[in-house]
Structure 1
Amino acid sequence: MKNQLIYKGNFGLERETLRVDKNGRLSQTAHPFEDDGEITRDFCENQIELVTPVCSSVDDVMKELDRLDKKVRKALDDMDERIWLYSNPPHFSDDSEIPVADFKGDLSSKRFYREKLELRYGKRLMLFSGIHFNFSFDDEYLKSISSGEDFSEFKNRFYLRLYKQLSRHSWLPLLLTAASPIHDRSLYEDGEKGGTVSRYSSIRSSEKGYWNSFVPTLKFDSLSSYVDSIQKYVNEGKLFSASELYLPIRLKPKGENSIENFANGVSHIELRMFDLNPLEPLGINADDLRFAHLLAVYLSEQPDFEYTDELQVQAVHNHRNAALLDLEGVTIDGTPILERAGQILDKMSERFSDNNEYQNVIAYEKAKLSDRICSKIINEKIYG
């Protein structure tokens, strides 16, 4: 009988959006939630980032997201502003409309950090918005499978193994949730305007999106070796801090995402590839989060492997390719990407065959693959 504790966990969301005025232009007013820990901004002042409390289910975290969303919308209505519920930014004239987040007082260091990011990456990259899904297994489950060994050590090794699996499969949830193929021409050309279709289903996850100037490769022998491999890049000046590690998956300590806080061990894992879904009132479908949860459960049971530098570079390559709008010729481990995705979903369906709710979640994702395949066939018939 399967250990039912495996489904228990902690769930949290971070949702980034931009603030726009009544004309759909980037807001130029000050951030209206200066002292609210749940409503902040990431890079720019005209951004809203909602940070939910830690919850015990996807349903609860969606309720918290809804609560925060309503609070923001009410305040913005009073300012005659709106939320821009798209991952790609609206029209803007130039970089002067993208003010760096103006953290003050004890938080001034956050502003200085963002000014350094501006010099390294430019402002426009920081306009991309999305959703980060934070998850951890319940300690009760982890203790039940730890065989009496030192729990802290076991927990750290568990999340290192899970990181490797999720990193190698990060292309799959991206493939299933990419939702930003259209962008305004001003994103790349000053003075231009009007929407255009890019070659990407998700620009922010593509080769043009949120990446370091190099591909970081990390070590996984232990948590200390993992942390040391990040610190090496900081020492070399390639990263300002652990927060600048722009990979689709992150291990996170409790509290601020700093190298020092890893001294207390891994707290949770973060999936960073979710586009804002403009067809969903809250920007995300709950079943996509349920699928991410099931994927973490499924991958946590898969055999460990050596995550070589070559495999890590390949994982980034696969992730960027999954962000393409036209997937013709894109393969994962030599198999066409849509076929490979179907194989994994079939295995997950078999794994969770005893739960109708989970079967429905997986069927929901499978239908997206069918839609992509049908679209490809139709386009081939129309355009040859």
Structure 2
Amino acid sequence: MAESRHSVFRQFAASDWDGFLKGVEKEGLRVDRNGFIAQTPHPEALGSALTHPRITTDYSEALLELITPVFDNTQAMLKSLKDIHVFVQQNLGDEVFWPASMPCELNGDPSIPIAEYGSSNIGRLKHVYRQGLAVRYGRMMQSIAGAHYNVSFPDSFWQKWQALLGNEQSLKDFKSDQYFWLIRNFRRRSWLLMLLFGASPALDASFVEGVSHELARFDERTWYGEYATSLRMGDLGYHNNAQASLNICFNELSTYTQTLDRAIHTTWPAYEAIGTRRGDEFIQINTSVLQIENEYYSAVRPKRTTQREEKPIQALEARGVEYIEVRCLDLDPFSPVGVNQAQIDFLDLFLLDCLLSDSPRIGDAECERLDDNYKDVVANGRYRELTLCRGGQRTRVTDAATELLGQLEPLAELLDSWQGASTYREALAAQRGVLDGDANVTSARVLETMRSSGLGHRDWVMEMALQHQRQLKQEGLDPETLRAFEAMTSSSLEEQREMEQSDTLPFGDFLAKYLRS
């Protein structure tokens, strides 16, 4: 019988283990003091949304995205994320930074301004892509916010791991295959993250104005899912009928890129009917199932840093998988920065175990079961009698979660013994406490706190936003960090100006060239 990968991993010495490389991308809406989505342009004090390395926008001009550098420990990463938040809060004027995934008060699509990136061809391409999202799905869905957790392992780990497994591939191919090994198990277990960290069980009534739904009334301005963990990841959140036909394969890099590439080059009748222009205005990049790779919504993505004007597929095929992007995390509204240390440390443990556990390829039947498990926990994860399909049997969700957490304990003990710390055992204990009833899962805590406050979704989240703002402004930034942010603002604005001045190719020609590449 072949030696288990967990046993092989135990052959590492403490000195061989360099830990995880990690970073966060955290989204959030700018909101006025009445709890309505901001109608103002991206603050100039925050620099250029096109070129700033730490502060940009996602879909909407009001939807900020804050990006940390890569770190090798959780504390440093969270300190960086907090510093970015402080700088943003200091430059929002009378506005606040919305700390929940489901949006503030909206007034239909026209109230959600599409992000602007200036007159350069790259800037216009980013704007047209967002126009395409608007004509395809509407803008409401694009006002939702989340946190993306990016994690990888250093090459020193991969070289040791490859030697222990006796693998003779190139390092590039070995890493890609191993990351997809991890992704397959992530797909099998991602429901657990929605149970533990789903934090969007309620929403403002304006989000579903005129929309058919099955939510319950919380108060006159708020709807909620009785057992929901994440409305953001459910049918009212990120979804799209065209993408349901894609069957994106997560078994290996080649099939993943091939199926994505096919989607980018396969026209969709409804999008053909819209066309790419309205008069002289470009309203979508193309009429395919996907305009670009980033349009594909998934709970996890294999990623590779792209070069300017390089497509994600091209980067993956040329240089292999560099890191994993976990995309299913709701914002934690109780945290001033949207995530917390116990959550990040648990994710590291969870993802490493996905790499070390057996991970056969996923067939069509299993793929469907995994999707069903995920959707069931998103919609009804707090229902104690909910069952999941695991190993061909129906298992209560709480029993399945307890079993999975138990499987992580030996790994947590091993990592802590190498580091002479209790980091991973504490992170695991925090999640066990949630399941054992010592605390509530985040979605239940949100509803419980709303009820005790007597406030609906908009007013409760606004109260949290103001509380976070006061705390972060009070903590402030040291002079050196403040100067660094001000320098990034200045240099990003200058870089955008230089890009705009150097562009000579008409946008239509640029787009045609981009689509041919």
Q: What is the alpha-carbon distance in structure 2 between the residues aligned to residue 246 and residue 343 of structure 1?
A: 29
Residue identity matched to 1:329: L
Q: Which residue in 2 is equivalent to 1:116?
A: 132
1:294 lines up with 2:349 in the alignment = yes
Instruction: Report if the CA contact (8 A) 1:162-1:296 is conserved.
Output: yes
Q: Which residue in 2 is equivalent to 1:198?
A: 225
Change (3 A) 1:122 1:248: same
Q: Which residue in 1 is equivalent to 2:162?
A: 146
Summarize deviations over 1:34-72 as a string: whole Å, max 9, x none. 412311111011111101111111111101100100010
Instruction: Report if the CA contact (8 A) 1:11-1:134 is conserved.
Output: yes
Q: What is the alpha-carbon distance in structure 2 between the residues aligned to residue 295 and residue 49 of structure 1?
A: 25
Pick aligned residue for 2:190 from 161, 170, 174: 170
- The answer to which of 59-68 and 323-332 deviates more is 323-332
Deviation of the 1:306 alpha carbon:
1.5
1:353 lines up with 2:353 in the alignment = no
Q: What is the alpha-carbon distance in structure 2 between the residues aligned to residue 182 and residue 126 of structure 1?
A: 17
Summarize deviations over 1:78-133 as a string: whole Å, max 9, x none. x2111011111111222211011112222110000011011111111111111000
User: What SS does structure 2 have at the residue aligned with 1:116?
Assistant: helix
Summarize deviations over 1:114-159 as a string: whole Å, max 9, x none. 1101111111111111100000011100011213541111111111
Residue identity matched to 2:423: E
User: What SS does structure 2 have at the residue aligned with 1:339?
Assistant: helix
User: What SS does structure 1 have at the residue aligned with 2:379?
Assistant: coil
Q: What is the alpha-carbon distance in structure 1 between the residues aligned to residue 31 and residue 77 of structure 2?
A: 26
Q: Which residue in 1 is equivalent to 2:201?
A: 181
TM-score, reference length from structure 1: 0.91
Deviation of the 1:222 alpha carbon:
4.2
Q: Which residue in 2 is equivalent to 1:382?
A: none
Structure 2 unaligned spans of 5+: 1-9, 212-218, 267-287, 417-421, 445-517
Deviation of the 1:212 alpha carbon:
3.4
User: What SS does structure 1 have at the residue aligned with 2:357?
Assistant: coil
Deviation of the 1:338 alpha carbon:
1.4
Residue identity matched to 2:247: T
User: What SS does structure 1 have at the residue aligned with 2:23?
Assistant: strand
1:245 lines up with 2:296 in the alignment = yes
1:56 lines up with 2:86 in the alignment = no
Change (3 A) 1:307 1:7: farther
Pick aligned residue for 1:370 from 433, 436, 443: 436
User: What SS does structure 2 have at the residue aligned with 1:163?
Assistant: helix
- The answer to which of 249-258 and 97-106 deviates more is 249-258
Q: What is the alpha-carbon distance in structure 1 between the residues aligned to residue 396 and residue 413 of structure 2?
A: 26
Q: Which residue in 2 is equivalent to 1:380?
A: none
* RCO higher in structure (CA 8 A, sep ≥6): 2
Q: Which residue in 2 is equivalent to 1:20?
A: 31
Residue identity matched to 1:62: L
Instruction: Report if the CA contact (8 A) 2:57-2:115 is conserved.
Output: yes
Instruction: Report if the CA contact (8 A) 2:225-2:379 is conserved.
Output: no
Deviation of the 1:2 alpha carbon:
4.3
Q: What is the alpha-carbon distance in structure 2 between the residues aligned to residue 81 and residue 221 of structure 1?
A: 45
TM-score, reference length from structure 2: 0.69
User: What SS does structure 1 have at the residue aligned with 2:22?
Assistant: strand
Q: What is the alpha-carbon distance in structure 1 between the residues aligned to residue 353 and residue 201 of structure 2?
A: 30
Q: Which residue in 1 is equivalent to 2:114?
A: 100
Instruction: Report if the CA contact (8 A) 2:249-2:255 is conserved.
Output: yes
Percent identity of the aligned residues? 27
Pick aligned residue for 1:269 from 324, 329, 339: 324
Instruction: Report if the CA contact (8 A) 1:212-1:245 is conserved.
Output: no
Q: Would you tell me which structure has more helix in proportion to its own residues?
A: 2
User: What SS does structure 2 have at the residue aligned with 1:266?
Assistant: coil
1:224 lines up with 2:254 in the alignment = yes
Deviation of the 1:283 alpha carbon:
1.3
Q: Which residue in 2 is equivalent to 1:40?
A: 56
Q: What is the alpha-carbon distance in structure 2 between the residues aligned to residue 220 and residue 280 of structure 1?
A: 32
Q: What is the alpha-carbon distance in structure 1 between the residues aligned to residue 352 and residue 295 of structure 2?
A: 27
1:310 lines up with 2:365 in the alignment = yes
- The answer to which of 147-156 and 215-224 deviates more is 215-224
Change (3 A) 1:368 1:287: same
Structure 1 unaligned spans of 5+: 377-384
User: What SS does structure 2 have at the residue aligned with 1:54?
Assistant: coil
Pick aligned residue for 1:255 from 306, 310, 317: 306
Q: What is the alpha-carbon distance in structure 2 between the residues aligned to residue 221 and residue 62 of structure 1?
A: 32
Q: Which residue in 1 is equivalent to 2:459?
A: none
User: What SS does structure 2 have at the residue aligned with 1:352?
Assistant: helix
Instruction: Report if the CA contact (8 A) 1:252-1:267 is conserved.
Output: yes
Deviation of the 1:6 alpha carbon:
4.8
Summarize deviations over 1:315-358 as a string: whole Å, max 9, x none. 22222211124433332412111110110100101332343321
Residue identity matched to 1:218: I
Q: Which residue in 2 is equivalent to 1:90?
A: 104
Q: What is the alpha-carbon distance in structure 1 between the residues aligned to residue 366 and residue 138 of structure 2?
A: 29
Q: Which residue in 2 is equivalent to 1:31?
A: 42
Change (3 A) 1:193 1:231: farther
Count how many residue pairs are aligned between Structure 1 and Structure 2.
Answer: 375
Deviation of the 1:226 alpha carbon:
2.0
Q: What is the alpha-carbon distance in structure 2 between the residues aligned to residue 184 and residue 59 of structure 1?
A: 34
Aligned pairs for 1:301-340 within 5 A: 301-325=356-380, 326-327=382-383, 328-333=385-390, 334-340=394-400
- The answer to which of 181-190 and 317-326 deviates more is 317-326
State the structure with more CA Rg: 2
Residue identity matched to 2:224: V
- The answer to which of 341-350 and 225-234 deviates more is 225-234
